[in-house]
Amino acid sequence: MNATCAIAGLLLAAIALGHGSALGHGSGIISGKNGDPRNLTTAYPSCGNCHNSFPNFNVVVGIDGATSVAPGSAVAMRVTVDGANLTSTRGGFTMEASAGAFVAGTTTRTDTTNAGRAAITHVNSLQRDWTFSWTAPTTPGLVQIFATANAANGDGRNSGDAWGWFGPMSNVPGTPHRIFVNGPQVTSTGEGCAGTDGFRPLLGMANAPTVGTSYVAQTHNLPANGVSVSILGLSNTAFGTLPLPLPLQGLGGGSCVLRVSIDLTQVAIASGAGSGTGVANATWAIPAVTSLRGLALHHQTMTVDAGANSLGLSFSNALSTTVQ
Ligand code: HEC
């Protein structure tokens, strides 16, 4: 062994020991702390800095919870890891949010000193399923949450474990779980139904419609360059003779549900590059007619997506609001 190699070996041992002894991975991992690299949730080498160098493509990291939410609201969240080391039930995760704050459950702990980013991790390696909550910021807009998790083999060491990133491909870093914080006076109903690669179209609105101004209905999680139809409906209980919400399973629409009457539509082409990165914005204008105040408006986005179901369409959650 030459000198450089020996030093590199010592350094590696020091990092592993420092981490294992000072904070033991039993009690979680936060980016940039205790010798762990920054950007654990978004880039290589992530957990591979000390565990298997490469992520395991069988690992499935799940994040459940409401995605189109009110400002300042408490959002129940659940993270799971599965798909590898199936005879063990041990695991760990780390997660970061671009805004808002995590509130730990009994099996998690938070960290807010992490360069201003809200972070949360496990407190012991006994679970593969964690529940806690996240408080939405009061400023409306898109929030991105990133996560990495480890389906450990339970030997209490950093070998033989299997880790991966959140997203349809666990070996690709940087796929966010997107949450839209809507403006006040905007309420969301239902969740989008899955399109290509499992991405569920997410509709959000940072401002309520106001007389004499325009507002934007933004849809995220779309196929890049996909064709979307932004729907404005005056009802969420009936579309002509059809009662709403209308499940589309009978038409081959899988779990998709039409929730608003199709009264006005606008085609919006999504931007983006890469699965689920598409964003389609539709700008709607409210005439300067004060008698429109109080009129209820409902929105939903329908997207052409052959990978969604045999109907070839995916649908977002629906938003309801009134003209201000
Ligand atoms: C700085 C090195 C380092 C990094 C980076 C690292 N780990 Fe670890 N991890 C260790 C060491 C050392 C052990 C064994 C000792 C221990 O349990 O603390 C370990 C053990 C674990 C265990 C328990 C394993 C078992 O078989 O019971 C889990 C779970 C875990 N790590 C999760 C993670 C996750 C998730 C990441 C990425 C977000 C990560 N680790 C990144 C060093 C690291």
pLDDT digits (tens, 9 = 90+) for 180-190: 999 999 999 99
Q: Is the CB of 19 under 6 A from ligand 1?
A: yes
- Ligand 1 atom closest to the Cα of residue 45 is 5
The residue contributing the CA closest to ligand 1 atom 8 is: 25
Q: Do 260 and 321 contact (CB within 8 A), yes or no? A: no
Task: Determine the average pLDDT of the residues in 122-131.
Answer: 96
Report the separation in Å between the CA atom of 122 and the middle of ligand 1, taken as the mean of its atom positions. 11
Confidence (pLDDT) at 24: 56
User: Cα(80)–Cα(78) distance, rounded to whole angstroms?
Assistant: 7
Give me the pLDDT at residue 323, please: 98
At residue 53, the pLDDT reads 94
CA 228 – CA 215 distance, rounded (Å): 17
Question: How many alpha carbons lie under 13 Å from residue 300 in its C-beta half-sphere?
Answer: 28
Residue 302 amino acid letter: M
Which has more confidence, 205 or 25? 205
| Beta carbon of 15 within 6 Å of any ligand 1 atom | yes
Residue 171 is predicted with a pLDDT of 95
Report pLDDT for 9: 39
**Encoding tokens for residue 219?**
């849809």
Angle at 70 between CA 247 and CA 79, to 5 degrees: 75
Residue 254 has pLDDT above 50, yes or no: yes
Mean pLDDT of 93-111: 96
Q: Residue 36: its pLDDT value, please?
A: 86
Of residues 316, 228, 302, 319, the one with CA closest to residue 271 = 228
Longest dimension (CA), the chain: 83
24 lines ligand 1 (CB under 6 A): yes
Q: Which of 105, 41, 103 minimizes the C-alpha distance to 72?
A: 103
Q: Report residue 32's pLDDT band, with 50, 70 and 90 as the boundaries.
A: confident
Using the CB atoms, write b or e for 254-271: b if 16+ within 10 Å. bbbbbbbbeeeebebebe
Assess contact for 63 and 170: CB atoms under 8 A. Answer: no
Tell me what pLDDT residue 175 has.
96
Average pLDDT of the residues in 170-193: 97
What does the pLDDT read at residue 33? 86
In this structure, of 9-13, 39-43, 46-50, 112-116, the range with the lowest mean pLDDT score is 9-13
Q: Is the peptide bond before 45 cis (omega within 30 degrees of 0)?
A: yes
pLDDT value for 172: 94
Residue 5 burial by CB count (10 A; 0-12/13-18/19+): exposed, middle or buried?
A: exposed
pLDDT at 25: 67
**Distance between Cα 120 and ligand 1 center (Å):** 15
Cα–ligand 1 centroid distance for 28 (angstroms): 8
pLDDT band, residue 133 (cuts 50/70/90): very high
Residue 91 alpha carbon to ligand 1 centre in Å: 9
CA distance 190 to 187: 10
Q: What is the pLDDT, as a whole number, of residue 10? A: 36
